[in-house]
Each structure stands twice: as C-alpha cells, then as structure tokens.
Chains A and B, each alone.
Chain A
Amino acid sequence: MSSASPQPVRFGVVVFPGSNCDADAHHAISTFPGATVDYLWHKDTDLKGVQAVVLPGGFSYGDYLRCGAIARFSPIMQAVKDFAADGGLVMGICNGFQTLTEAGLLPGALIRNTGLKFVCRYVNLRVENAETPFTRACDEGDVLRIVVKHNEGNYTVDPETLAAMKANGQVVLRYCDADGVPGDAANPNGAVEHIAGICNETRNVFGMMPHPENSVEAALAGGADGRRLFQSIIDTLTVAEVAS
C-alpha cells in the first residue's frame, strides 16, 4: 500500500420522486472523511463517474402499485444496471432494496409485513457473510443495531433460489436477538429465514431493509453501527484504487 492518502471514494445517491432518505444517505456518507457524495437525478442517464451507487429509502412514486415497481423504469436505472453489470458497487436501502428486486438485480421480492403495519424499531442484525464489499469491515457473527422502518420488508424468494443463495453466501444479514441468535421474536416483518440483507451472485449489488444511514452518529438515537457498512464500501474501493 502506498502511504499517500488515497483519493476519497465518490458515492452517488439516486433521487427518485418520493425518495425521503436520500438526504439522510447523503448526510451519512458526508460524515466519512474518505468519501464524497453527489445526488443522481432519476431522469438522468449517466452516473457522473461515481464509484458506488446508493438507492435510498423512501416511497418512490408513493409506493403505489408495488414498492419500487415504477422507480425501476426510471432512466437512471438503465445506467445503474450497466454499472452493476460492469462490477460497480450498488447498495439498495429499504425502498432501494425493493427497487433492486423489481429491477431483477437482486433475487426475490419484498412483500407486506406479516403484522400489516409499518414498523419503526431498532433491530439487531447478524452479519452472516463478512466477505462482501459491503460488510468487510465486520466479522462474521457481529451484531449490528440498526433501525428498520418499512411496511413491505418481508423478504420472500422461492426455495431453490434461496438454497442457491445460501450456498453462495448471498444471505448477508439476518435479524437476530442481542446475542446474535436469529429467530421469530427478532424478526420485525416475517422475512423468510429472518433475512434482512442479501447480495447478488457476484456480490457487487447489495440490498438491505434496515437503515444504516440513520445509524452513523453516536449522539443521535440511532447509534453508529451503520458506519461499518459504509466503511466497508470505502475500504473496498480505496484498496481497489490503491492496488490499480
């Protein structure tokens, strides 16, 4: 590794009409000295040279019809697909996760919470795979305390795909108790096998229901456990940059 301080990693946060955690994601990333961040407008067709794309939480197009169903047709999404196909890092948070599944960039779908209510609550997340660009700053088995807030966070996928995902390490985060044990009592939405976050086969596209961008400052109610996910992305891209 060179001793010169590396270039900051350039993030882009996509803004869809109805996104409402776009500013939070922007703010969260801006608290990292190793990163810069810009907004990407849904009607644009290029990614302005960013190195990592965040699809933020919120209610794109009001979540009407299905969450993420309309957003996935936005002009920017073609660019995001091309970027992902080239190995670019894409992180979908909540509504962003929903949009990635609708777009076919991640397997499965997110349906209505079993409680049929919006749920805003702190949850514990067990890191199931720390070998992804989004979790490398964690160790397997680590427990992160991060808030969920959603109405449709109930992850579902057909059994064959799920088996393949597990074999391939694509289940990245699970809801668990404070001791790291996944279980029904810790699962806020009924997601299959308590899944909270997954990645694609090539591990460069990642979606999670909880909101790490609301857990980056210890002074706030959300705590700071979410930092490790953003730090992972920064580390991944910084190392890549330095290596190349």
Chain B
Amino acid sequence: MTRRADLAAAEALGLTAEEYAKICEIQGGEPTYVELAIYSLMWSEHCSYKHSRPVLGRFPTSGPRILQGPGENAGVIDVGDGWAVAMKVESHNHPSAVEPFQGAATGVGGIVRDIFTMGARPCVSLDSLRFGELSEPRQRFLLDGVVGGIAHYGNCLGIPTVGGEIYFEPSYEGNCLVNAMSAGLIRADDIVRAVAAGVGNHVVLIGSKTGRDGIGGASVLASQEFDETLEEKRPSVQVGDPFTEKKLIEACLELLNDHHVVSMQDLGAAGLTSSSSEMASKGFVGLDIHADRVPLREADMEPWEIMISESQERMLAIVEPAKLETVQGICERWDLDCTVIGEVTDTKMLRIHWHGEVVGDIPARRLADESPVIRTPSVKPDYLVDEPVAVDDASYPPPKDLGAALAELLAAPNIASKRWAWEQYDYIVQANTVQIPGSDAAVLRIKGTGRGIAFANDCNGRHCYLDPYRGAKAAVAEAARNLSCAGALPVAVTDCLNFGNPEKGEIYWQFEQAVEGIAEACEALDTPVVSGNVSFYNESFGQAIYPTPMIGMLGIYDDVDIHLDGAFKDEGDVIVLLGPPAGFVDGSEYQKVHYGRVEGRVPDVDLALEVRLQAAVREAVARRLLKSAHDCAEGGLAVALAESAIASGAPGGAQWTDPAAAKPERSGRWLGADVTIGAVERPDLALFGEAPSRVVVTCAPGDLEAVHALAGDLPFAVLGVVTGESLRCTMGDEELLALPVSELHGVYESLPDRLA
C-alpha cells in the first residue's frame, strides 16, 4: 500500500494548510508521500516564484531582437548574421553560505546547463558577488571559497569568466550573494525549447548517477531564512563535477544541434520532479517516470528521494524510439550514462512508477502552473517612512588632505582592483576575448563575423537600500553606460533579484519598487528583460540584506573593431566630462569610507538624459573620435580619473606581467592627468561625490570640436589633459591633489594584502 500523507506531513515540508487543501482538491483526496514531496518542492518559493510572479509581469520582455523572453531556460537575443545569444543569471546564495567552494561551483554548473539546454554553446560567464566586510575572517573565508569554486568549475569547462563584481557591506554578513551569469552562442534557427512531445517517445536521463545530494535543497535551503538549524542542513551539500559537465556540454550540443533529440531539460532545483513536470506541462502531455530505473549512487534510496534529488550534472531528454540507438552511441562516446527512465503519454499526468506500483500521479499542468500566488501587502520600511532628504553637507566636514582621501577610496575593497579574483579565472579560453576583466565591460568577438558582444554586471545595493526604485533604475542605467563606454549597443537584460523575506511587507515593498525601477529603465533604454532569477529569504536572524537587484546586460557590435576601453592612451589628449558636474555624498562610497555613514537621498537617474548621453558616447566611439571612455561610478570623478590613469600601464586592456611592479609593462611610463574643476564650495564632493549619467572621455585635441558637436546640449566640461606620471587636480590656482600614478596603482592593487 502506498503511504498517504496528512496535513502534519505537509506542514513539516513547509506547505500551508491552504496549500495542502488545494493539493487534496487537485489529487481528489490525500496525496501520497511522493506526491506531497513533489508538491512541496514545486510550490516552494524557489521553484514556483509564488511571491514574485505577479510583480515580474511589469517587465518589458519583447522587442524586435528578442527571440525568446522569460519562461524558458534562458532568454535569447538576435545579435545579427544569423547568430543569437542565450543568457541567464542564477543565484546560489544559500548553498554558498553553507559551503562556499562547492556552492559557488555548482551555481556555475547550473547556469551553464540552462544555456546549453537551449542548444547554445556557453561562451562567457560572469559572477556578481556580495560579502560582509573584508575585515571579518569568516567573510574572507567565504570570498576565498566562492572565487575558488567559480574558478574550479568554469575553468574546467573551458568557458571564459570575463567579468563580474564584488562588493562588501555589513548587510551581507550572514547572507553572501553568489549570482552566476552565463551566455552562449547559437544559430538563431537552432533554438531548442524544453517541451516534451510525441506520445510514445522515450524519456532519457543523461549524465551522473543520482545520490542524496541536496535533497530538499530547493525548499529547505532556498526558501527559508537561516537560523540555528543551519548546521543540521549541511548533509544535503552538493558537490560539483565539472569534468562530467564538460562531457555533457559536448554530448548534448551534438544531440541538440544535429536534432537527435526532440527536446532537453536540465535537472536543477527539485531535480527530476521539476524537469519532468515542466516539460510535460509545456507540451500538454503526460510523462511516465520509472523511478526504479534511475541509476543510483546510493542503493537504498526511496522513490521520493530519487524524484527530488538535486544531484548535479544530469539532463533529461525526449527521444524518438528510432533515434535511441544514436543517442546512446553519442553518450557512450563521451562515457556518459544514458538511461531510458520513462515515456511520453497522452494522460497529461506526471506518473511515478516504483517496481510496478504507481506511487504518484499528478496532473502535470496543475502542478507546474497552479502553484499558489502570494502578494504580500507592501509597507514602506521604517527607515524610509519620512521621505528621505539629501543630507546636509555641513554635517560632513571636508578632509584636509584630498590626496589621502583619494588613496583611501582607491584602497577601499569596493573600489580596489579585483585582479586577485579574476586572475583565478580563465578569461581567454575559446579565443574570442577582446577585452579582458578589469574595465567597464567585457568584449568578445563572434568568430567568422566582424561582430562582437559585450557584457556588464551592475548593482549598487547601498543605493537600492536607500531607495530601491532609484537604485534599481540606476543599476540598469549603469550597466548600459558601461557597455556604451565600450562602444557596444545595449540590447537586453537578465536580472537576479536578491531580497530578504518576502512575507514581510517592507521587503515586499523594496521588491516592488526595484522591479518598477528596472522596468522603467529597461523601457527607456530599449533593453527588454529576457530572463532572470529571484532569490528571496536572504536574511539571517531577522537581518535582511540590502535589496540587490543585479542587472546583467548584453551589448552588441556590428564591428567589434571599434571597441574602446577606459585607459588613457597618449599625452596631450584632452579630458572631457560628459554629464552633470555635481556629485553627491548621499549613499556614496566616500560617505561610507571616509565618514562611516550610509544615509541620504540617492540621486535619481534622468533617463532621457541618460539615453542621449549613451548614444553620443557610442557615436563618438563609432566615429573613432575617442581614445578612452570610462563611467564615473563608486568614488566619483577622481576615482574614474585615477582608474583611467592606472589602466594606462596596460595598453589595450592588457595587464602587467608582474602586478606588484609599479611599472607599466610596455610604454615604460604611466600616464596621468592634469585637470581643473570649476570653483565650488566643496571640491571634495566634486571629486568624490557620486551621480549617474557621467562619463570621462579623452580625445586627441584635434577631435575635441567634433566630440563637442556630437554631445550637442549635453553637459560638457573640458577638464584638462593627459600628462605623464601623476594625477593632479586643481581648482583655480589651488592644487587639490597631486599623486604619482605608480602610488595610486600600488593602493589600487592592494586587496591581496588584506586577504592574507
């Protein structure tokens, strides 16, 4: 007799009484234990998006270039000449907090499977990371493990990790964020969707054997807050095997691109359960799964365990009987297990068999699509209840030594070079990398065409905390600005929405505000959202993370040769600030680092201005009028200038052989700048204050007029010229700061010293 599960069992699995009642209604009585386990996972926050679905509908998701929007494993964008890019981002926050190395590694593995499931060959990865303050040993341990795990997995797969971001804020102390983004190239007419079809076709499981990895991972780890029972949850840690995944990539792309399979789906959260029910639901068919035919790593597993195991490196394929032999042959060639575990039926039921007995029988569509929807009534958080106002500058006494303040900012972990991390990543494999990590955007060429693609990741969580709407909007604008600085046209967004507990009104408010901000910016910039991920419950002991809606953006080039970086190129070039001159202390890195405060009213992005500014920058790059372009972000104008000066040691975005040597590799000397700012009361805020829509560009003196003409009525200020060896800022006759670039370089590259 199959065991029946009662309300108590349902509640133990995290289901509510209403949810249980709905399950009983769908099942026509008490569910079996297998059925209940399946429902509990499919209706968990992580799999069902029950809190976020209605809000996400706000995003613009279509456009002439969009071949596939949200709803598939990855979004797909037409990038020209018959080529398309599939892209998505995924969070692996909770697993990484438990075991940073394996958590991050399996995060990369999961997102890469989402890409090649579509038939695309994964061609880039990016990683967006958040930790608590670096001064805490535990945070250094997490950082070390997470970066090591990403390197271990991505390097082994031979997918270049070309970009990302790392921020440190106390709010992430109990909940680090590990957002892995991946993209792949595919011929536009080869896109495969994860839809089961063809009654009588085989359901085939390819890849690793199934063990008890991550049992309950989706519901237990991803959908609850962390508390004291964290320790007990550890046995469900998943270990990644990038070698098997590499073989899977090769075998699956052969199966998909040569049309040997009808469709394919990766096994991610909730394993066999979610992959089979989603494939059945989308195809309006049923699937019979024989759990007893699944190859096991541990002999004594129960059917419900097999159905929800999150063992990594597994794929589910629908195969016509006539093609089974070919499919098995290809898998054998790659030494991969390939097992028929079921068939496509016309019952529209997901039916689980166990040694001849039916232990679960669920209407696939209702399971996949009728999960509950919850809209928490949103409440503006206490800390924002009084409409925040810009801080009074008078309460921020200006520093005496602006040079020291600049050095302090360059050394701040949020600004300092992240070379320590990205030198652990193979960013060059696949022979497409045009622009390596360390600048505004990563640039790759598309072999056999003159075209290129560019990627950027952005989100300032502190701004989103002070104003989730403005902060999220600014994240989209900044990602696009980074691409525009590199000369690429921004075309699409994938997002990873990291928030606290959505059952709380304040968190829900943050979430709604952020989505609104993203949506408005994406509309203005014409960059639809094609895929994404939501990660809730990033809270420990009631303390939520800063709202962190990470934006991953794709840009394209018709001619990748026109790409540009932020490094100063030649002495005598003119330095221009495009965009508004004023910087604000509110929410800035300067505020945090120098004054130890986080407060105020972060500036709002003027989207119309932003759009015009970026178009002008791109046009100037395309006409080869600019020598460099770099956006002003954390640390303001002075940090942007310093970064362009430091990068001058590495022409073409290359890097020093010996990062410790304070000497540029090829030119033999650093390029600095001599700039003057207009008379203001607070030069420190002009230098270090932050504001959106600002780009520092350089051009040959002879091109200045043409650049100015292109800029039209955009705010335009000639700051000075590129000079040798040092960075000097003046205001009128007053010297504000003057520092050798070699010294700035030393501080900027000092992160490793603080990791030892």
A118 within 8 Å of B (CB atoms): yes
A99 within 8 Å of B (CB atoms): no
- Chain-A contact segment, one of B96-104, B482-490, B497-505, B659-667: B659-667
For residue B430, which residues in chain A have a CB less than 8 angstroms away from its CB? Answer: 23-24
B151 within 8 Å of A (CB atoms): yes
CB of A21 to closest CB in B, whole Å: 6
The complex places the Cα of A28 from the Cα of B661 at a distance, in Å, of: 31
For residue A118, which residues in chain B have a CB less than 8 angstroms away from its CB? Answer: 151-152, 155, 424-426
For residue B561, which residues in chain A have a CB less than 8 angstroms away from its CB? Answer: 219
B436 within 8 Å of A (CB atoms): yes
- In the complex, chain A residues 194-216 whose Cβ is within 8 Å of any chain B Cβ: 211, 213-214, 216
B212 within 8 Å of A (CB atoms): no
CB of A11 to closest CB in B, whole Å: 16
The complex places the Cα of A220 from the Cα of B242 at a distance, in Å, of: 27
B157 & A20 in contact (Cβ 8 Å cutoff): yes
The complex places the Cα of A95 from the Cα of B423 at a distance, in Å, of: 18
For residue A177, which residues in chain B have a CB less than 8 angstroms away from its CB? Answer: 657-658, 661
With A119-B424, A149-B428, A214-B428 known to touch, is A18 a contact of B657 (CB < 8 Å)?
no
B653 within 8 Å of A (CB atoms): yes
A178 & B243 in contact (Cβ 8 Å cutoff): no
Interface centre among A20, A145, A147 (most CB of B within 10 A): A20
For residue B429, which residues in chain A have a CB less than 8 angstroms away from its CB? Answer: 20-21, 24, 149, 214
The interface bits of chain B over 631-658 (1 if a CB of A lies within 8 angstroms of the residue's CB, else 0) are 0000000000000000000001111111
- Chain-B contact segment, one of A45-53, A56-64, A228-236: A56-64
* Cross-chain contact of B655 among A18, A64, A121, A216 (Cβ < 8 A): A121
Tier of interface size on chain A: 35 or more
With A177-B658, A223-B654 known to touch, is A121 a contact of B246 (CB < 8 Å)?
no
CB of A199 to closest CB in B, whole Å: 24
The complex places the Cα of A118 from the Cα of B423 at a distance, in Å, of: 8
CB of A169 to closest CB in B, whole Å: 25
B469 within 8 Å of A (CB atoms): no
For residue A151, which residues in chain B have a CB less than 8 angstroms away from its CB? Answer: 155
Residue in chain A with minimal CB distance to B650:
A122
CB of B585 to closest CB in A, whole Å: 37
Residue in chain A with minimal CB distance to B155:
A118
CB of B8 to closest CB in A, whole Å: 44
The complex places the Cα of A62 from the Cα of B241 at a distance, in Å, of: 8
A20 & B427 in contact (Cβ 8 Å cutoff): no
A120 & B426 in contact (Cβ 8 Å cutoff): yes
For residue B655, which residues in chain A have a CB less than 8 angstroms away from its CB? Answer: 121-122
The complex places the Cα of A18 from the Cα of B657 at a distance, in Å, of: 28
A185 within 8 Å of B (CB atoms): yes
For residue A59, which residues in chain B have a CB less than 8 angstroms away from its CB? Answer: 155-156, 242-243, 246
A240 within 8 Å of B (CB atoms): no
For residue B422, which residues in chain A have a CB less than 8 angstroms away from its CB? Answer: 120
A28 & B657 in contact (Cβ 8 Å cutoff): no
For residue B594, which residues in chain A have a CB less than 8 angstroms away from its CB? Answer: none
For residue A18, which residues in chain B have a CB less than 8 angstroms away from its CB? Answer: 156, 243, 246-247
B426 & A149 in contact (Cβ 8 Å cutoff): yes
The complex places the Cα of A219 from the Cα of B433 at a distance, in Å, of: 9
Residue in chain B with minimal CB distance to A64:
B243
B156 & A149 in contact (Cβ 8 Å cutoff): no
B434 & A178 in contact (Cβ 8 Å cutoff): no
For residue A61, which residues in chain B have a CB less than 8 angstroms away from its CB? Answer: 243
The interface bits of chain B over 51-74 (1 if a CB of A lies within 8 angstroms of the residue's CB, else 0) are 000000000000000000000000
Interface centre among B243, B427, B658, B660 (most CB of A within 10 A): B658
The complex places the Cα of A17 from the Cα of B334 at a distance, in Å, of: 7
* Cross-chain contact of B148 among A58, A117, A145 (Cβ < 8 A): A117
The interface bits of chain B over 422-456 (1 if a CB of A lies within 8 angstroms of the residue's CB, else 0) are 11111111111111100000000101000000000
A89 within 8 Å of B (CB atoms): no
For residue B398, which residues in chain A have a CB less than 8 angstroms away from its CB? Answer: none
Interface of B is mostly: loop
The complex places the Cα of A17 from the Cα of B427 at a distance, in Å, of: 21
The complex places the Cα of A17 from the Cα of B157 at a distance, in Å, of: 11
* Cross-chain contact of A121 among B148, B155, B423 (Cβ < 8 A): B423
For residue A220, which residues in chain B have a CB less than 8 angstroms away from its CB? Answer: 431-434, 445
Interface centre among B148, B430, B431, B658 (most CB of A within 10 A): B431
The interface bits of chain A over 10-29 (1 if a CB of B lies within 8 angstroms of the residue's CB, else 0) are 00000001101101100110
For residue A28, which residues in chain B have a CB less than 8 angstroms away from its CB? Answer: 431
CB of B426 to closest CB in A, whole Å: 5
B335 within 8 Å of A (CB atoms): yes
The complex places the Cα of A216 from the Cα of B428 at a distance, in Å, of: 12
B434 & A219 in contact (Cβ 8 Å cutoff): yes
B433 & A221 in contact (Cβ 8 Å cutoff): yes
- In the complex, chain B residues 85-128 whose Cβ is within 8 Å of any chain A Cβ: none
For residue B334, which residues in chain A have a CB less than 8 angstroms away from its CB? Answer: 17
The complex places the Cα of A151 from the Cα of B660 at a distance, in Å, of: 20
The complex places the Cα of A27 from the Cα of B431 at a distance, in Å, of: 8
Residue in chain A with minimal CB distance to B433:
A221
CB of B146 to closest CB in A, whole Å: 13
For residue B665, which residues in chain A have a CB less than 8 angstroms away from its CB? Answer: 178
* Cross-chain contact of A17 among B246, B424, B658 (Cβ < 8 A): B246
The complex places the Cα of A149 from the Cα of B428 at a distance, in Å, of: 9
- In the complex, chain A residues 163-199 whose Cβ is within 8 Å of any chain B Cβ: 177-178, 185-186
A129 within 8 Å of B (CB atoms): no
CB of A161 to closest CB in B, whole Å: 28
The complex places the Cα of A60 from the Cα of B159 at a distance, in Å, of: 15
* Cross-chain contact of B447 among A27, A43, A211 (Cβ < 8 A): A27
A178 & B432 in contact (Cβ 8 Å cutoff): no
For residue B431, which residues in chain A have a CB less than 8 angstroms away from its CB? Answer: 23-24, 27-28, 213-214, 216-217, 220, 222
B740 within 8 Å of A (CB atoms): no
Residue in chain A with minimal CB distance to B244:
A62
B283 within 8 Å of A (CB atoms): no
* Cross-chain contact of B654 among A21, A119, A216, A221 (Cβ < 8 A): A221
B158 within 8 Å of A (CB atoms): yes
For residue A214, which residues in chain B have a CB less than 8 angstroms away from its CB? Answer: 428-429, 431
CB of B445 to closest CB in A, whole Å: 7
For residue B426, which residues in chain A have a CB less than 8 angstroms away from its CB? Answer: 118, 120, 149
A17 & B423 in contact (Cβ 8 Å cutoff): no
CB of A16 to closest CB in B, whole Å: 11
A132 within 8 Å of B (CB atoms): no
Residue in chain A with minimal CB distance to B241:
A62
Residue in chain A with minimal CB distance to B154:
A118
The complex places the Cα of A116 from the Cα of B522 at a distance, in Å, of: 42
CB of A211 to closest CB in B, whole Å: 8
A221 & B652 in contact (Cβ 8 Å cutoff): yes
* Cross-chain contact of A147 among B428, B447, B652 (Cβ < 8 A): B428
A185 & B660 in contact (Cβ 8 Å cutoff): yes
Residue in chain A with minimal CB distance to B427:
A120
* Cross-chain contact of B158 among A58, A221, A222, A223 (Cβ < 8 A): A58
The complex places the Cα of A58 from the Cα of B447 at a distance, in Å, of: 21
The complex places the Cα of A118 from the Cα of B424 at a distance, in Å, of: 5
Residue in chain A with minimal CB distance to B335:
A17
A62 & B243 in contact (Cβ 8 Å cutoff): yes
Residue in chain A with minimal CB distance to B422:
A120
For residue B246, which residues in chain A have a CB less than 8 angstroms away from its CB? Answer: 17-18, 20, 59, 62
A124 within 8 Å of B (CB atoms): yes
The complex places the Cα of A219 from the Cα of B561 at a distance, in Å, of: 8
Additional A-B contact list (6), CB under 8 Å, known A23-B431, A151-B155: A17-B335, A20-B158, A118-B151, A118-B425, A220-B432, A221-B436
**Sorted from nearest, which 7 A-B pairs have the closest CB atoms?**
A20-B158, A62-B243, A59-B156, A149-B426, A24-B431, A185-B658, A221-B436
Q: Which residues of B contact A (CB under 8 A)?
A: 148, 151-152, 155-158, 241-244, 246-247, 333-335, 422-436, 445, 447, 561, 652-658, 660-661, 665-666
25 contacts between A and B (CB under 8 A): A17-B335, A18-B247, A20-B158, A24-B430, A59-B155, A62-B243, A63-B156, A117-B151, A118-B151, A118-B155, A118-B425, A119-B423, A120-B422, A120-B425, A122-B656, A123-B657, A151-B155, A177-B658, A178-B657, A185-B661, A214-B429, A216-B431, A220-B434, A221-B652, A222-B431
